[in-house]
Amino acid sequence: MADHNLLGSRGEKLAAEFLTASGYKILETNWRCGKKEVDIVAQKETIVAFVEVKTRSTTYFGLPEEAVATAKQKLLVEAADEYMQLLGFDAEVRFDIISIILSGNNYTIRHIEEAFIPLAE
């Protein structure tokens, strides 16, 4: 596995642990529907959070969360719609980003709740 894939997998594991410690129940990890993927689907009380995890080893090219551009947001919204319909969920939906800077065994994690609001089309 390439180094960047290992970094991403490690970040997703840290993010899931962070969410669990924060009172979330992890419903899915790496949920896929066609070309769409959600890193983590988590629930806390009546909210289902669709979480994009971005992990970087440095901020040289910017903060990790800055990599969640409009096209990625659109795919996340489409995946969330399909997930909610397939499972028949009736809950409030939120789109979060977990931003991780990971270097060796040291890391900083930032949970950005309601990182974006879907645009009406």
First to last CA, the chain: 38
Looking at residues 92-112, what average pLDDT do you find? 94
CA pair distance 92, 20, nearest whole angstrom: 19
Using CA of residue 109, residue 54, residue 27, residue 9, what is the dihedral sign? negative
Looking at residues 16-28, what average pLDDT do you find? 97
Question: Does the pLDDT at position 38 exceed 70?
Answer: yes
Query: Is residue 59 very low, low, confident or very high in pLDDT (cuts 50, 70, 90)?
Result: confident
In the chain, the domains with their CATH numbers are 3-112 (3.40.1350.10)
Burial profile 72-97: b = 16 or more Cβ within 10 angstroms, e = fewer: ebebbbebbeebbeeeeeeeebbbbb
Looking at residues 12-24, what average pLDDT do you find? 97
Task: Identify the pLDDT of residue 2.
Answer: 60
Query: Is residue 1 very low, low, confident or very high in pLDDT (cuts 50, 70, 90)?
Result: low
Higher pLDDT residue, 102 or 3? 102
In this prediction the pTM is 0.92
Q: Residue 85: in which H helix or E strand, if any?
A: helix 70-87
Q: Residue 25: in which H helix or E strand, if any?
A: strand 25-33
